Amino acid sequence: MGETTPHSCERTGESLLRTVVLIGMMGAGKTAVGRALATRLGVEMRDSDAEIVASAQLSIAEIFERYGEPFFREKESAVIARLLDGPPCILSTGGGAWLSEANRRLLTREAVVLWLQADLDLLWQRVRHKTTRPLLRTGNPKRTLAEIHAARDPIYALAPLRVHVDPAWSIEDTAERVMAELARAGAVEGYGQ
């Protein structure tokens, strides 16, 4: 992959030393927290799902309907590899990206991976009114979400870092906890100074 150099934010004095990849279930806050981190650190926020949508000129739901999930996962892996080849950034991945062993190897080798762990009730509160979640287009979306949550949590638990998302936390609160975890892991310097 590409060479990386630290990116400093003049305002905070904090530097991102390696790309940070946020993983977790749909509704965990990957995109919102990722944006907050990117703004704070003065780096680019990238979203693998948004990149796939832009290149395909189709929504994720349309890609699933027309070509199926295996096709989507193949494109997702290619997009993730491309996004990792560049300066340090915050990268939000789709909920299923971490399930692929090849993706896990690539992500842990090239970036710092952090799981935004969220309880089922919080996830349901956040996604229940959204129509953009193809995996939840079932007769009982809450049960489907529970099944996906139960199946994926053990795989998400393989992530090197994690922050358990508290429902009472704001986006900024969650981003602060993530920053502390990233600083402990050596992905950010200048934190808390």
CA angle 52, 147, 134 (to 5 degrees): 30
Query: Which residue from 79, 36, 38 is spatially nearest to 55, judged by alpha carbons?
Result: 79
Whether 166 maps to a domain, the answer reads: yes
Main-chain phi, psi angles of 160, to 5 degrees:
-65, -35
Whether 44 maps to a domain, the answer reads: yes
User: Per-residue pLDDT tens for 162-188?
Assistant: 999 999 999 999 999 999 999 999 999
Tell me 135's DSSP state.
Answer: G
User: Per-residue pLDDT tens for 8-52?
Assistant: 545 557 899 999 999 999 899 999 999 999 999 999 999 998 999
CATH number at residue 32: 3.40.50.300
**Could you tell me the residue range of the domain that residue 157 belongs to?**
21-181
Whether 13 maps to a domain, the answer reads: no
Whether 81 maps to a domain, the answer reads: yes
Please state the domain count of the chain.
1
Whether 154 maps to a domain, the answer reads: yes
Whether 5 maps to a domain, the answer reads: no
Strand-strand pairing, 161-164 and 188-189: unpaired
CB 101 within 8 A of CB 6: no
